[in-house]
């Protein structure tokens, strides 16, 4: 992938997930329009994490998870899950060795029909703190019709004025891509409110930590691995044994920012293991049960509710706009 394409893909990975904090955020249509200004009309695939593989499994909350949330997903019973693993960016043919985020999207559906969706990424921060910065970051990268390239001076000026938009790209540059979808943590990044059995409401972020441990590609593997190895590698793993992740809540300390997803909380903050996700099936090829799902049901009130992070409140509507355009 060329440097410009990498930069666009990193920006695109963040866009739908990181609308932000200003009083007058861009409309959902403007968010999707900004994607299309750079990538062209998107009618056959998702604008973010376009390349993916469907899977299925189940989730079981720990006793601590049941204590910390009254949401149906944390009942302690086995909850079926529809799962999508993905490679970041808007290119459905992105190489699996690219320095892009990896995605873990999950739909939990209890036997009673309660639905909870989430979209997690393999980086502990999002790519931009506000919707304005996200949209502007895409628009300054629109290719000039005369040259087919963006105006680099405008891009440089934007980055200088919005340094937080560089944090995710910097993290990706410093950490090689995962060697498997099964060997990377996936962060939820945003803070949510968890209402416990005791009635107390606690802010928390979550991460899905791989039971297989964290393993990244070497520099040599990044040069030599095929462009499409992740799906088959996951199929082989799951055929041998379920792939498992522990869901871990992280709680903020004094002064931790609850509303800015470009800032990670320190590693020494209190944590609790609240459940385990088991991946037991992987679709044999393209398509599957995850394909028509946009993962828009982002809370399961009253057990899991949005925090005041405006990025959460602005996420669902652009997902719906994008889906409606693909269905036209």
pLDDT at 20: 35
Distance (Å, whole) CA 320 – CA 71: 24
pLDDT at residue 250, as a whole number: 98
> Which entry of 49, 58, 203, 313 is annotated as an active-site residue?
49
> What is d(CA 61, CA 251) in angstroms, rounded to the nearest whole number?
18
Q: Are 165 and 137 in contact (CB under 8 A)?
A: yes
Number of structural domains the chain divides into: 1
Instruction: With H, G, I as helix, E, B as strand and everything else as coil, classify residue 214.
Output: coil
Domain enclosing residue 219, as ranges: 3-326
Give the Cα separation of 179 and 194 in Å (integer): 33
Beta-strand pair 201-210/186-187: antiparallel
Task: Identify whether the C-beta of residue 116 lies closer than 8 Å to the C-beta of residue 81.
Answer: no
Straight-line distance from the first to the last Cα atom of the chain, in angstroms, rounded to the nearest whole number = 30
pLDDT value of position 42: 62
| Cβ atoms of 141 and 90 closer than 8 Å | no
Residues of the chain with pLDDT under 50: 1-23
What is the CATH number for 217? 2.40.180.10
Strand locations in 157-200, DSSP E?
Answer: 186-187, 192-195
Residue 135's pLDDT is 82
As a whole number of angstroms, the distance between CA 276 and CA 295 comes to: 20
- CB-count exposure of residue 160 (10 Å: 0-12, 13-18, 19+): exposed
49 catalytic? Reply is yes
Sequence-distant (≥ 6) Cβ neighbours of residue 269 within 8 angstroms? 250, 251, 252, 253, 256
| Whole-number pLDDT of residue 15 | 37
CA 299 to the chain's CA centroid: 15
Model pLDDT, residue 238: 98
pLDDT value of position 44: 61
Rounded to 5 degrees, what angle do the CA atoms 319, 295, 73 make? 145
Rg (CA), the chain: 19
Using left for φ > 0, alpha for ψ between -120 and 50, and beta otherwise, residue 281 falls in beta
What's the token pair of residue 310? 């405006």
**pLDDT given for residue 47 in this prediction:** 66
């Amino acid at each position: 992938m060329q440097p410009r394409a990498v930069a666009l893909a990193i920006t695109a990975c963040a866009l739908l997930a990181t609308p932000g904090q200003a009083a007058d955020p861009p409309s959902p249509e403007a968010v999707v329009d900004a994607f299309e200004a750079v990538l062209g009309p998107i009618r056959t695939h998702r604008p973010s994490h376009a390349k993916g593989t469907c899977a299925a499994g189940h989730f079981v909350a720990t006793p601590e998870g049941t204590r910390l949330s009254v949401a149906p997903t944390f009942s302690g019973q086995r909850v079926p899950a529809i799962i999508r693993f993905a490679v970041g960016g808007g290119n459905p043919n992105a190489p699996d060795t690219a320095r892009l985020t990896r995605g873990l999207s999950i739909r939990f559906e209890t036997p009673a029909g309660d639905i909870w969706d989430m979209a997690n990424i393999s980086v502990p921060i999002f790519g931009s703190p506000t919707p304005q910065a996200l949209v502007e970051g895409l628009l300054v990268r629109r290719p000039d019709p005369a040259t087919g390239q963006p105006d680099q001076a405008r891009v440089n000026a934007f980055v200088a004025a919005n340094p937080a938009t560089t944090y995710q790209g910097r993290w990706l540059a410093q950490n090689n891509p995962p060697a498997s979808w099964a060997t990377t943590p996936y962060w939820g990044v945003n803070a949510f409110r968890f209402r416990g059995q005791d009635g107390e409401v606690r802010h928390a972020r979550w991460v899905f930590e791989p039971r297989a441990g964290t393993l990244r590609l070497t520099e040599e593997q990044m040069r030599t691995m095929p462009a499409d190895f992740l799906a088959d590698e996951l199929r082989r793993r799951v055929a041998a044994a379920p792939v498992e992740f522990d869901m871990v809540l992280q709680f903020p300390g004094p002064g931790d920012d609850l509303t800015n997803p470009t800032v990670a909380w320190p590693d020494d903050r209190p944590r609790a293991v609240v459940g385990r996700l088991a991946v037991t099936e992987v679709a044999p090829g393209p398509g599957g049960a995850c394909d028509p799902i946009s993962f828009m049901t982002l809370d399961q009130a009253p057990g899991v509710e949005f925090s005041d992070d405006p990025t959460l409140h602005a996420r669902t509507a652009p997902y719906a706009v994008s889906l409606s355009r693909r269905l036209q």
